[in-house]
Structure 1
Amino acid sequence: MDNQNTLTNRQGHPITDNQNVRTVGDRGPTTLENYDFLEKISHFDRERVPDRVVHARGAGAHGYFEAYGKVGEEPIAKYTRAKLFQEAGKQTPVFVRFSTVVGGGHSPETLRDPRGFAVKFYTEDGNWDLVGNNLKIFFIRDPMKFPDMVHSFKPDPVNNLPDPERMMDFLSGTPEATHMVTFLFSPWGIPANYRQMQGSGVNTYKWVNQDGQAMLIKYHWEPLKQGIKNLLQREANQIQSGNYNHATQDLYEAIAQGDYPEWELCVQMMTDDEHPELDFDPLDPTKLWDPKQFPFLPVGKMVLNKNADNYFAEVEQVAFGTGVLVDGLDFSDDKLLQGRTFSYSDTQRHRVGTNYLQLPINAPKNHVATNQRDGQMEYKVDAGPNQNPHVNYEPSTLGGLQEAAQSGKEHAPHYDASLVRQKLARTNDFAQAGATYRAFDDVERGELVANLVDALSICKPHIQSKMVEYFTQADPDYGKRVKEGLENAKRTGQEHTSTAAADQAKKQLEHMGHTSDRY
């Protein structure tokens, strides 16, 4: 290979497309033979031991989910046969882990960062994990880009120092991130604590009813009695100067004092088709579904009423996966969701161990009987009560386990498309970012622009220009204000060669705040 700068995989094969996984059509399911993606994400999953690669800093608690038995005013059985939702008042035990994303296990909880919001439901049909974030969208839509995204957000691999220019360099080549950047650098960049933040599944899922009919679904957690609160920049600075565990402490003390936080689980529903009337693809995780067109419909509430007995055994070792679904819940063809589904479980086996599901915090509370045996730290055999101990395979006529009966008609989507590597046809990367900018109040817009200017002021001119171009496409006033801010920063000596400006920009990158509840 003549060009030594050509990107390759670890086998030395040149990579011709590092942006898209291979799918059936531009919006169809991914395929298992995505070798370059599987190799890339498998290596990424193993880059850090023993901390999580992302979401290392976290807090958690036990509680319960109480179903309403309906979705909006309709019986929920019309849309899903998942048992935990069917009966009004039915309670399902849960464990929730909140987290920051980029920082290490002891990083301050005031850093500007999305927040993880992961819920494990211990249902009668086994575990269901709803793994999401506080913000309702994400930076990217294709999982091929996930390792590169996280690498750019993490400290420099040479000096281990945070460097906003690396992050902005990646974002300047990722136009679909403009909407998420608008939220992250606005007053929504730092929730005041874990109790007073929203949660979202981010990805598009499906509900399946008894007849095998499916609906596209978005999940949202909305705080009930505690409300929503974010921090102003100066408030975040003040808190961090005296306490970098403030969110963990707030959650623990509230529950210990009997002030149990509550969230209502709402869903947005859409028919399972391409929706050509929309100017974006509903499977795109960088997009919001307009709540006026697809309203938030409450389906139940969650209460957290018990702290963990041991942080390491529960909060640290709890293991989630986007593929952990129960009957009546299903995947969509959201590419990012399908990539995450491989990555999460692969990471847990690497980080916690082959038998991580035997740990009490991860073990289902219903009957478990499997032919999967052995591996590191195996200490029990999950077998049926009448299973022949010599039989660890299926099918068998010698007393082995048998397949379960189907509880309803299986959902069977149909595909007729070529296997390709390409992005979604309807990207529309800037319209929603502009709408969000215009929906902000004056304080929020001012904070957004100031924080972007501080972060971009240390970046090279071509990175600044590209980001200003994106903001301008989102909204002319948005781009104009960031451009003027950068020009003013240059005139006042805050150029990218200034060490003082670099330090300040790093701080601004990690902090933010304000209070609002509109999104």
Structure 2
Amino acid sequence: MGVKERVGKTSDTRVNEEKIEKDTINEKISSLTYHTESAAEEFLTTNQGTRINDNQNSLKAGERGPTLLEDFLLREKITHFDHERIPERVVHARGAAAHGYFQVYESMAKYTKAKFLTDPSEKTPVFVRFSTVAGSRGSSDLARDVRGFAVKFYTKEGNYDLVGNNMPVFFIQDAIKFPDFVHAVKPEPHNEIPQASSAHDTFWDFISLAPESMHMIMWLMSDRAIPRSFRMIEGFGVHTFRLINEDGESVFVKFHWKPLLGVHSVVWEEAQMISGKDPDFHRRDLWEAIEKGAFPEWELGVQIVPEEDEHKYEFDLLDPTKIIPEELVPVQRIGKMTLNRNPDNFFAETEQVAFHPGNVVPGIDFTNDPLLQGRLFSYIDTQLLRLGGPNFHEIPINRPIAPVHNNQRDGHMRQTINRGKASYQPDTIKGGYPIQAKAAEGGFTSYTERIEVNKIRGKSRSFFDHFSQAALFYNSQSDVEKKHLTDALSFELGKVERVEIRQRMVGLLTQVDETLATNVADALGLPVPRQPEYPMNHIIPADGDPKEYQPVKVKQSIKKSEALSMANTIKNTIKTRQIAILAADGVDEASISQMKSALEAEGAQTAIIAPKLGYIKSATGKEIKVDQSFLTASSVLFDAVYVPGGAKSSASLKENAKALQFIYEAYRHYKAIAMDDDSGLLKASYPGNKMLSDTLKETDLAAKGIIVNAHAKGATSNAKDFIKAIAQHRFWNR
């Protein structure tokens, strides 16, 4: 409306017309700004409105071929996903890290020309970051979650990043589904709840519609998802990679990290309690162990498959939801990694470190794993936003020790001052340097792979088996681990509000194990369906037309794998284990000193816990320094409990509710407990508990991890029994 038109109108008329015009503008803005999902919106589209025919599979050169750069659907989807959150990582936001070194035992030149794997005299610097996946930087360390295990090798040929997890498989088979998976597991967008938890509708809705996730779900619901320490987790490269030797010969390889302390977990109730007592439990544990000189160690293992055996197995080597059972291909331990130095600055190092699975060195190459292919694009794209631009490689923690020469200049936050006129190649102005390196001169050459296939958006039928290895994992667990897995599924699905989602999940569980499905269904108050419900959106396009497909269950040659159960882990050491010594005035000084010496000689760490801080007096009047009080200490933060002798001390603890709670929680969580005399403390910790009373009536309490009335046998014997019990980690037979 023009000025002249407005002048002739009354004030009320002008106000009314201006309001109508403003409401119309706001309505138009609202229609552009707000988008409400509706069942009537039939078609999935790109951000440009182009309808999408297949949102489940990336574009490949053949069903098992490499992902093509021209896949604009994949690039748009992942680019948007990578840039959704700033400045923390979209996933793996909460982490801890440390410096160290890696050293190969013997030359691997038969398989690879990567120099850090062929020279046993070389100590390669590393920087390792551990993390949870789903939670934000402020979440708890003890969430039920996957743990990231990323290693940056600063080799003389350039940086090599082995970016993996503490679980050997993943939820999805194709990178195009990664944004959907993460959107589902993250807090729900309407209320940002729940934090760092998968126990909610959107996650299980996605999983129930993605049967390929079932193997990973078995791992996630197992005790592997609540580790005792970062120092006690395995690491896996997840994908199948290639090793290439000097003659250009290739083998397939799976990478493993095996902790020398064994693989141990906490129980679920402990995890919940630790989150309240000390949400930094894992980060603190790693830091303090290194500060005390108890350096964490892992051996690097490889599973090597000759090129000619690629199609030998009942699973596809390129499927990231599958493992190679160690019974079929043993893990060769080829070197050791030691972490021996904490970061000097958390932000400068732990927060700014940038990992990328595409950072490889000559002798290591990729396969056509469709999840790996997408990660090769996604990681570097994420760093561009998170670290401010293309020069994040110049941040000190990311700089290689190998010299860098190229024509990539300028850009945001550039640190290097490049000289000269020419910044291109080839050239004559600067003599043609830097020049390309021949393969014999250490130049990286991609493995030559013949591909003559149709361009297709789809997946190979060898990727259709979603349940066989999920069943293998479940069947490989001990009875206790199976119960924990069942309880975890019951808890998680019990948090799901929509009954139809729970029902779909129970249906999928029937394909893993009927007993598992029945027990979970019973806990949820649901019937067990006769057959699972397979979702419509899992399609294999043929001639552009979506078609349903039925997952298959391939008969496995391996029925049970010992390596998959934590019950078979190392149980011959108590190094770095945290032992609580409960004491009060009147304690037997000799009992404390003898046990402390014995435990610390084996590498354990002890702390004296008393009713209050300061000092307590022994029976002889000597002052003993207290490390923590019952106000701040909790049994869930320790691996075992020792109560030294002293009638007055025992009587005092027996009247202290927090001391009794401390002892009973240790018992409830199946930990080793030692007492120098039977003062009734254990029974007093939970009066009326029949299970506890029945246990105490048994003659061989040591078989259940309880060492009582052992002082008569002598302090040395007492300590040996206790040390043996601690090494067992838990006594599930209580």
Do both proteins adopt the same fold according to a TM-score greater than 0.5, normalized to the shorter chain?
yes
**Identity of counterpart residues, as a percentage?**
44
Which residue of the other structure, out of 23, 27, 46, is the alignment partner of 2:64? 27
| CA distance 1:251–1:474, shift in 2 (3 Å) | same
Name the CA distance, whole Å, in 2 between partners of 1:348 and 1:44.
12
Name the CA distance, whole Å, in 1 between partners of 2:134 and 2:208.
19
Uncovered stretches (5+) of structure 2, i.e. residues with no partner: 1-38, 529-564, 571-734
Which fold has the larger relative contact order, with Cα–Cα distance below 8 Å and residues 6 or more apart in sequence?
A: 1
Name the CA distance, whole Å, in 2 between partners of 1:56 and 1:336.
21
Deviation at 1:271, TM superposition (A): 2.3
Q: Which residue of 2 aligns with 1:81?
A: 113
Contact 1:207 / 1:329 at 8 angstroms: preserved in 2?
Answer: yes
- SS of residue in 2 equivalent to 1:236: helix
- SS of residue in 2 equivalent to 1:131: strand
- SS of residue in 2 equivalent to 1:298: strand
Name the CA distance, whole Å, in 2 between partners of 1:158 and 1:37.
26
Deviation at 1:488, TM superposition (A): 7.2
| CA distance 1:273–1:342, shift in 2 (3 Å) | farther
Q: Which residue of 2 aligns with 1:347?
A: 382
Q: Which residue of 1 aligns with 2:426?
A: 395
- SS of residue in 2 equivalent to 1:473: coil
Q: Which residue of 2 aligns with 1:430?
A: 467
Deviation at 1:343, TM superposition (A): 0.4
Deviation at 1:69, TM superposition (A): 2.3
Deviation at 1:349, TM superposition (A): 1.2
- SS of residue in 2 equivalent to 1:474: coil
- SS of residue in 2 equivalent to 1:378: coil
Which segment is superposed worse, 151-160 or 227-236? Answer: 227-236
| CA distance 1:150–1:138, shift in 2 (3 Å) | same
Name the CA distance, whole Å, in 2 between partners of 1:340 and 1:147.
12
Q: Which residue of 2 aligns with 1:111?
A: 143
Q: Which amino acid aligns with 2:100?
A: G
Deviation at 1:4, TM superposition (A): 2.0
- SS of residue in 1 equivalent to 2:303: strand
Contact 1:61 / 1:308 at 8 angstroms: preserved in 2?
Answer: yes
Q: Which residue of 1 aligns with 2:277?
A: 242
Q: Which residue of 2 aligns with 1:92?
A: 124
Contact 2:237 / 2:256 at 8 angstroms: preserved in 1?
Answer: yes
Q: Which residue of 1 aligns with 2:133?
A: 101
Contact 1:137 / 1:180 at 8 angstroms: preserved in 2?
Answer: yes
Q: Which amino acid aligns with 2:83?
A: R
Q: Which residue of 2 aligns with 1:462?
A: 500
- CA deviations on 1:382-426 (whole Å, 9 max, x unpaired) are x6xxxx711100001121421112227762111121111112212
Contact 1:143 / 1:340 at 8 angstroms: preserved in 2?
Answer: yes
Contact 1:98 / 1:116 at 8 angstroms: preserved in 2?
Answer: yes
Deviation at 1:205, TM superposition (A): 0.7
Q: Which residue of 2 aligns with 1:300?
A: 335
- CA deviations on 1:332-379 (whole Å, 9 max, x unpaired) are 111111100110011111100221001110000111111000010112
Name the CA distance, whole Å, in 2 between partners of 1:269 and 1:515.
23
Q: Which residue of 2 aligns with 1:415?
A: 451
Deviation at 1:463, TM superposition (A): 1.6
Name the CA distance, whole Å, in 2 between partners of 1:223 and 1:49.
34
Deviation at 1:455, TM superposition (A): 1.9
Q: Which amino acid aligns with 1:151?
A: H
- TM-score, with normalisation over the residues of structure 1? 0.90
- SS of residue in 2 equivalent to 1:78: coil
1:133 aligns with 2:165: yes
Name the CA distance, whole Å, in 2 between partners of 1:456 and 1:189.
16
Which segment is superposed worse, 143-152 or 467-476? Answer: 467-476
- SS of residue in 2 equivalent to 1:195: helix
Contact 1:434 / 1:474 at 8 angstroms: preserved in 2?
Answer: yes
Q: Which amino acid aligns with 2:144?
A: R
Contact 1:99 / 1:116 at 8 angstroms: preserved in 2?
Answer: yes
Name the CA distance, whole Å, in 1 between partners of 2:308 and 2:407.
38
Contact 2:353 / 2:398 at 8 angstroms: preserved in 1?
Answer: yes
1:167 aligns with 2:198: no
Contact 2:365 / 2:446 at 8 angstroms: preserved in 1?
Answer: no
Name the CA distance, whole Å, in 1 between partners of 2:416 and 2:306.
44
- CA deviations on 1:53-102 (whole Å, 9 max, x unpaired) are 000000001000011124xxxxx111110000112232100000110001
Q: Which residue of 2 aligns with 1:372?
A: 408
- SS of residue in 1 equivalent to 2:86: coil
Name the CA distance, whole Å, in 2 between partners of 1:515 and 1:266.
18
| CA distance 1:463–1:274, shift in 2 (3 Å) | farther
Alignment of 1:148-297 (within 5 A): 148-162=180-194, 164-224=200-260, 226-272=261-307, 275-297=310-332
Q: Which residue of 2 aligns with 1:38?
A: 75
For the pair shown, the structure with the greater C-alpha radius of gyration is: 2
Q: Which amino acid aligns with 1:205?
A: F
- CA deviations on 1:129-184 (whole Å, 9 max, x unpaired) are 00000011110110010000000000111111126111100001110110111111
Q: Which amino acid aligns with 1:315?
A: T
Uncovered stretches (5+) of structure 1, i.e. residues with no partner: 71-75, 491-513
Which segment is superposed worse, 399-408 or 206-215? Answer: 399-408
Deviation at 1:277, TM superposition (A): 3.5
- TM-score, with normalisation over the residues of structure 2? 0.64
| CA distance 1:240–1:143, shift in 2 (3 Å) | same
Name the CA distance, whole Å, in 2 between partners of 1:203 and 1:53.
21
Deviation at 1:275, TM superposition (A): 3.6
Contact 1:199 / 1:222 at 8 angstroms: preserved in 2?
Answer: yes
Name the CA distance, whole Å, in 1 between partners of 2:509 and 2:488.
14
Name the CA distance, whole Å, in 1 between partners of 2:567 and 2:400.
37
- SS of residue in 1 equivalent to 2:150: strand
Contact 2:61 / 2:456 at 8 angstroms: preserved in 1?
Answer: yes
Deviation at 1:518, TM superposition (A): 5.5
Q: Which amino acid aligns with 1:93?
A: P
- CA deviations on 1:432-455 (whole Å, 9 max, x unpaired) are 111111111111111111221222
Deviation at 1:14, TM superposition (A): 1.0
Q: Which residue of 1 aligns with 2:98?
A: 61
Name the CA distance, whole Å, in 2 between partners of 1:276 and 1:376.
47
Name the CA distance, whole Å, in 1 between partners of 2:319 and 2:109.
27
Name the CA distance, whole Å, in 1 between partners of 2:457 and 2:149.
31
| CA distance 1:267–1:378, shift in 2 (3 Å) | same
